[in-house]
């Protein structure tokens, strides 16, 4: 290689960047200590911006197209390099390529449950997660505020900060919103659009545009989900009686897991509920009928019975039982005469025949 070839090799005459990654946001063109040749070709592809930085100051921002680096195409270079007198020497400057495509599938999610008031469940703890999409909106702000002198800036370097920003705003918006939790879960798309609209201004300060927030799941605590499942089961089975039959069948089919014990406990709870309902004046099962007394009699030296009061009255009427017949019933300590125990029933006996 001759001396002339070596000298010309120190000058860069083609500047471009092709990206094979999916997460690179900013790439600084590598000069490797070389100077950019006056009249070099600069290619800025679609979904790219090129930013000239001279002596630490942003000189120009170029949109997609092919540029020849000379004063008639980029007049600002005249002021920077003093080429207003035709001094066409190479120059040292940094070129940053910014990827303006949309970066998708960035993750967000609550690290801890968020306590919110709910019109149906009073207070509940919620967890949520999803994805979001961003793109570079203001190249100068993004370089100055976020990238700095980083020569290869990726989404991973800012994803954590953006996620924290989303979560802080999400908790505030969810706390102020009075939409029932069950309605939020049924309208993920609408809620995601609402979040995007409210959180987007915070991204502007970083030179970024928040294009979309997707809510993939809003989950309740396991205890609340179990209560919802139980209530759904009752509503599906119709009434409480059918629900008990359903639970009994489930318990018999899964008794090895202790479901039978749960069913018995549930039955005890229902009985307690009925007792409480009765104490509050609601309908309760009628009391059991009072047991009628039974009587024993002594006749011909033998115990006979027990007899109902109706049978005793029949025996009195046909003189099988007289006033002197010994009688015993529950609650008596000794046998006593029928006259002392059943005296009122003898008044209905007819007088002796003449």
Give per-residue pLDDT as tens, 198-226: 999 999 999 999 999 999 988 887 777 77
* Residue 261, both tokens: 């014990």
pTM: 0.58
Residues 116, 126 contacting (CB under 8 angstroms): yes
Is the pLDDT assigned to residue 89 strictly greater than 70?
no
β-strand 326-329 against 103-109: which pairing, if any?
A: unpaired
Q: Taking residues 181-205, what's their average pLDDT?
A: 87
* Residue 265, both tokens: 């406990």
* Residue 173 confidence (pLDDT): 84
Q: Taking residues 96-107, what's their average pLDDT?
A: 94
* Long-range contacts formed by 297-302: CB under 8 A, 24+ apart: 297/321, 297/325, 297/326, 297/327, 297/338, 298/325, 298/326, 298/327, 298/328, 298/335, 299/325
**Among 71, 108, 105, residue whose Cα is nearest residue 87:** 71
Cα 230 to the chain's mean position, in Å?
18
Residues 99, 25 contacting (CB under 8 angstroms): yes
Residues 337, 323 contacting (CB under 8 angstroms): yes
Give per-residue pLDDT as tens, 227-239: 777 766 666 555 5
Least confident of 6-10, 71-75, 106-110, 228-232: 6-10
Give the Cα separation of 266 and 12 in Å (integer): 83
Number of neighbouring beta carbons within 10 Å of residue 130: 21
Q: Taking residues 14-26, what's their average pLDDT?
A: 90
Question: Is 294-346 assigned to CATH 3.30.1490.40?
Answer: yes
Give per-residue pLDDT as tens, 298-349: 888 888 888 888 888 888 888 888 888 998 998 888 889 888 888 888 876 5
Is the pLDDT assigned to residue 90 strictly greater than 60?
no
* Residue 20 confidence (pLDDT): 86
- Could you tell me where the DSSP H helices lie in 13-109? 76-81
If you ran DSSP here, which 8-state letter would residue 256 be given?
Answer: G
Sign of the four-CA dihedral 71, 25, 200, 172: negative
**Superfamily name and number for 103-222:** Band 7 domain (3.30.479.30)
Give per-residue pLDDT as tens, 121-172: 778 888 899 999 999 999 999 999 999 888 899 999 999 999 999 998 888 8
The residue with tokens 């007198």 is 85
Give the Cα separation of 167 and 109 in Å (integer): 7
* Residue 234 confidence (pLDDT): 62
Residues ≥6 apart with Cβ < 8 Å to 45: 16, 17, 18, 64
CA angle, corner 101, sides to 98 and 103, nearest 5?
Answer: 105
CA angle, corner 21, sides to 18 and 25, nearest 5?
Answer: 80
Is the pLDDT assigned to residue 58 strictly greater than 60?
yes
β-strand 48-54 against 94-99: which pairing, if any?
A: antiparallel
Ranges of each domain in the chain: 3-99, 103-222, 294-346
């Amino acid at each position: 290689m001759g001396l002339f070839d070596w000298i010309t090799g120190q000058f860069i005459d083609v500047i471009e960047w092709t990206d094979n990654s999916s997460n690179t946001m900013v790439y600084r063109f590598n000069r490797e200590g070389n100077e950019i040749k006056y009249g070099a070709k600069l290619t800025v592809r679609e979904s790219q911006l090129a930013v000239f930085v001279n002596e630490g100051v942003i000189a120009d921002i170029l949109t997609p197209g092919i540029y020849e680096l000379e004063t008639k195409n980029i007049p600002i270079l005249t002021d920077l390099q003093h080429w207003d007198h035709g001094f066409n020497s190479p120059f040292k400057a940094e070129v940053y390529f910014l990827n303006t495509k949309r970066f998708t599938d960035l993750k967000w999610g609550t690290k801890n449950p968020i306590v919110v008031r709910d019109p149906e469940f009073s207070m509940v703890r919620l967890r949520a997660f999803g994805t979001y999409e961003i793109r570079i909106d203001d190249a100068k702000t993004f370089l100055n505020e976020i990238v700095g002198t980083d020569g290869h800036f990726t989404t991973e370097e800012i994803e954590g900060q953006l996620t924290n920003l989303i979560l802080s705003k999400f908790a505030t918006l969810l706390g102020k919103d009075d939409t029932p939790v069950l309605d939020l879960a049924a309208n993920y798309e609408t809620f995601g659009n609402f979040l995007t609209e409210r959180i987007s201004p915070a991204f502007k300060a970083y030179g970024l545009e928040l294009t979309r927030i997707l809510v993939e799941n809003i989950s309740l605590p396991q205890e609340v989900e179990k209560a919802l499942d139980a209530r759904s089961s009752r509503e599906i089975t119709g009434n409480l009686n059918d629900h008990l039959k359903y639970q009994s069948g489930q318990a018999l089919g899964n008794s090895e897991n202790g479901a039978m014990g749960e069913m018995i406990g549930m039955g005890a709870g229902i009985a307690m509920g009925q007792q409480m309902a009765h104490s509050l004046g609601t309908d309760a099962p009628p009391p059991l009928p009072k047991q009628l007394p039974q009587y024993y009699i002594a006749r011909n030296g033998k115990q006979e019975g027990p007899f109902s009061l109706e049978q005793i009255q029949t025996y009195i009427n046909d003189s099988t039982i007289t006033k002197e017949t010994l009688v015993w019933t529950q609650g008596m300590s000794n046998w006593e005469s029928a006259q002392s125990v059943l005296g009122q029933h003898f008044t209905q006996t007819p007088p002796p025949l003449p």
